[in-house]
Structure 1
């Protein structure tokens, strides 16, 4: 059985390390930078906050390292007919360290996060999947729900 536990503020640096690995897997480039320090600071604050709007579940690895994580946030929107609480979840980080892949950690940490979302009154959870992870998420009940458009405000139009 896989031992899943909620992340604590002391896990913040390791969660950032796994986030960096996730980005590296997504776009093939390792991009360290000042974002890591800010991400760690925010994780420490959000993991200590009560009540939490950030859910994070981890599997311990070797020594001080985490083997895997699933992290997401709850967003409060206005209620709607299909979403009477107006609480939506977004999964923004699922990653398994290369040394621990193929053991079901991504599935189990994501399942723990989905259970946590349900306990928070969340009625819909969104995520962006890589091609490699799409099959996993579909097997967990995720499906396309609509065309989503976004705009990067850090870049000028044109």
Structure 2
């Protein structure tokens, strides 16, 4: 059995390292991956968001430690919980987003990403998130489908780069 745990603020540098590995593996982002000011900002946000009391947490992060490598992470799953106004399709108005699932290349094919993602989905279920969205890479699509994800149409999106 894989030992999954909630991330703590001290995990922030490793979470940023894994996030960069995820970008390196994405054809549309690979050229942008690597050192940059986004990493310090991401680390700061993670430290702050992971330091809140459990009942106030809106950025859940689950990790697997790298076996035999203290302080190193093998995998992670990161999400956010958003409170929207309730509606007929979501009586509690809670929506989840999954945006960072990554396994270090040295630790792939051991079920770590699945274990982290299952822990994240259980966390969302405990909070009654009516819908959970993610954008799947081709490498992760089979995993997410096996966990119950499918297509959901969003009519329009607006994107800006600052």
TM-score (norm 1): 0.94
Deviation of residue 80 (structure 1)? 1.1
Aligned to 1:141: 148
Shift of 1:123: 1.2
Match of 1:48 in 2: 51
Match of 1:37 in 2: 40
Corresponding residue for 1:66?
73
Residue correspondences, number: 155
Counterpart in 2 of 1:15?
A: 15
| C-alpha RMSD over aligned residues | 1.2
* Residue matched to 1:6: 6
Deviation at 1:63, TM superposition (A): 2.3
CA–CA distance in structure 1, aligned partners of residues 116 and 88 of structure 2: 30
Whole-Å separation in 2 of the counterparts to 1:10 and 1:126? 27
Shift in Å, 1:138: 0.4
**Structure 1 ranges of 4+ moved more than 2 A:** 27-31
Q: Secondary structure at the match of 2:26?
A: helix
Q: 1:89 is matched with which residue?
A: 96
List gaps (5 residues or longer) in structure 1.
none
